[in-house]
A = this chain, B = another copy of it.
Amino acid sequence: MIKITPKPIDIQKVIDTASSLGAGAVNVFIGTVRNTAHGKKVLWLEYEAYEAMAVAEIRKIIDEASHRWPLLGWAVSHRIGTLKPGEVSVAIAVSSPHRRDSFEACQFIIDTLKEKAPIWKKEIFEGGEEWVSAQPNVAKVYN
């Protein structure tokens, strides 16, 4: 399951989709909106995606991960639209027979998703806003 959705992410569903009877381990990464960035208070975030291409890029990432680790199941759900601090922006789950593979694969997927998936976010602060990473000379935000 690869989903780009304006609705709140159902984490349990992401986990259930990734689970497998042959798996001993499920690793789940959940990205949440932080209430501060560069020392400023974040009011909300606006997420935007090139949906068809985002799904295609995430599929390539999953294919690569499935090639590198013995995954038995996986699911990726990324939210778009307006998100407040504390809300879930992305949930990724993978299952594998043994736990180390689940950790490595899940980390690879979120790392590569952040690098490749055509998804953007604008942070709205008190008194300002900024497209994250878009312009030089602006502190980068990692989460």
Spell out A's residues near B (CB within 8 Å): 11-12, 15, 19, 21-36, 85-86, 95, 97-100, 102-103, 106-107, 110, 142-143
Asked if B22 contacts A11 (CB within 8 A), the reply is: no
Min CB gap A136→B, angstroms: 22
Asked if B21 contacts A34 (CB within 8 A), the reply is: yes
Interface centre among A12, A34, A102 (most CB of B within 10 A): A34
CA of A36 to CA of B97 in the docked complex: distance in angstroms? 10
The contact sample of 8 A-B pairs, CB cut-off 8 A, is: A22-B35, A25-B31, A26-B29, A27-B29, A27-B106, A29-B103, A32-B95, A34-B97
Min CB gap A105→B, angstroms: 11
Copies of this chain, whole number: 2
Min CB gap A47→B, angstroms: 14
State the main secondary structure of chain A at its contact with B. mixed
Instruction: Across the A-B interface, give the 4 residue pairs with the lowest CB-CB distance, nearest first.
Output: A24-B143, A28-B28, A26-B30, A21-B35
Min CB gap A96→B, angstroms: 9
Asked if A26 contacts B15 (CB within 8 A), the reply is: no
CA of A11 to CA of B32 in the docked complex: distance in angstroms? 17
Asked if B22 contacts A36 (CB within 8 A), the reply is: yes
Given known A-B contacts A103-B107, A107-B103, A143-B99, A34 and B24 have beta carbons under 8 A apart: yes
Contact of A32 among B25, B35, B110 (CB under 8 A): B25
